[in-house]
Amino acid sequence: MAGRGLTGKGPSTAVMVGVYGVALAVGAAVALAMPDAALWWRLLAADLAATAVVWLAGVAVDNTSIYDSYWSVAPLPLALATWVDGGGTRALLASVCLALWGARLTWNFWRGWSGLGHEDWRYDAYRRFGVAPYWALSLVGLMTMPTLMVFGAMLPVIQGSGSTAPVGLIDALAVVVALGFLGVETLADEQLRAYRKTKPEPGHFLKTGLWAWSRHPNYLGEIGFWWGIGLFGVAAGVPWTLVGAAGITLLFVTISVPLIDARMNRRRATYADHCRRIPAIFPLWYGRG
């Protein structure tokens, strides 16, 4: 059983907090042990070391979902470390955006989480490969790959550290875009949560509010947030770091959306027609039949 009997939310939360605390400490120790290395390399090594700690904990409790909130927890320490290293006002502004984003996403995860007795359905499908292949896949594909994707999306902040470009209008635009799309993501999640509380009939799904314009408006908000963070790189004179936001976009478009849409098609008889009328992520302001 996933979580080895840790079905209670309280004990599971205590385990999660403890694991993440150890991961943060190990990551910090790794970064401090490399004082002469470039900032991006020190932070990448720290991020990977912390991910390894979470993976080992996942093996111990037999649950890859122990990593699920790492996505929302790791970026803030990376941004704060950049600020402390001399990132200046730009890194501080990014840290504030990431703190608000991370707090909301972590809270949204935690309040809907039942504990380590449950594992995400997307992970269960891989257990048929056997124990050793599953945990190898868990390390490489289910943990390290997302860690690298998010680290890539953090490059505008990290690589912009020490930039002599003054804080200005593009930085202000970055804050507006990031927080604006954070609002979209928050509203989408709250609309979905309220809909689920109505206990809809089997086969029904949310088609009102933001969900009338996009099948996955929460993903739209997540993607837009990272493009907002990417604008900090533009402001710092390293526009190539927008590849990180592009990578996040590609992840949702090519992996997350197809997985969820395939599952919805199996469980909702009218979902295929919904897919023909409503775009997956990016709304069309015309032609909705």
Average pLDDT over residues 205-224: 96
Task: Indicate if the pLDDT at residue 56 is higher than 60.
Answer: yes
Task: Indicate if the pLDDT at residue 1 is higher than 50.
Answer: no
Average pLDDT over residues 191-204: 93
DSSP conformation letters of the chain: -GGGG---HHHHHHHHHHHHHHHHHHHHHHHHT-TTS-HHHHHHHHHHHHHHHHHHHHHHHT-GGGGTTHHHHTHHHHHHHHIIIIIHHHHHHHHHHHHHHHHHHHHHHHHT---TT---HHHHGGGGG-HHHHHHHIIIIIIIHHHHHHHHHHHHHHTTTT--SPP-HHHHHHHHHHHHHHHHHHHHHHHHHHHHHT-PPTT----SGGGGT-S-HHHHHHHHHHHHHHHHHHHHT-GGGGHHHHHHHHHIIIIIHHHHHHHHHHH-TTHHHHHHHS-SSS--SS---
Task: Indicate if the pLDDT at residue 191 is higher than 90.
Answer: yes
pLDDT at residue 120, as a whole number = 87
pLDDT at residue 18, as a whole number = 97
Average pLDDT over residues 16-43: 97
Buried b (16+ CB within 10 A) or exposed e, 44-60: bbbbbbbbbbbbebbee
Decide: 79 and 95 in contact? Cβ < 8 Å: yes
Q: State the distance between the two ends of the chain, measured CA to CA, in whole angstroms.
A: 46
pLDDT tens digits, one per residue of 239-251: 999 999 999 999 9
pLDDT tens digits, one per residue of 249-289: 999 999 999 999 999 999 999 999 999 999 999 997 544 54
Identity at 97, one-letter amino acid code: C
Q: Give the pTM.
A: 0.92
Decide: 244 and 230 in contact? Cβ < 8 Å: yes
Residue 141: how many CB atoms within 10 A of its CB? 12
Q: Where are the domains of the chain?
A: 1-147, 163-289
Average pLDDT over residues 201-224: 95
Average pLDDT over residues 142-162: 95
Identity at 31, one-letter amino acid code: A
Residue 123: how many CB atoms within 10 A of its CB? 19
**pLDDT category of residue 6 using cuts at 50, 70 and 90:** low
Task: Indicate if the pLDDT at residue 42 is higher than 80.
Answer: yes
| From 139-143, 201-205, 283-287, the region with the lowest mean pLDDT | 283-287
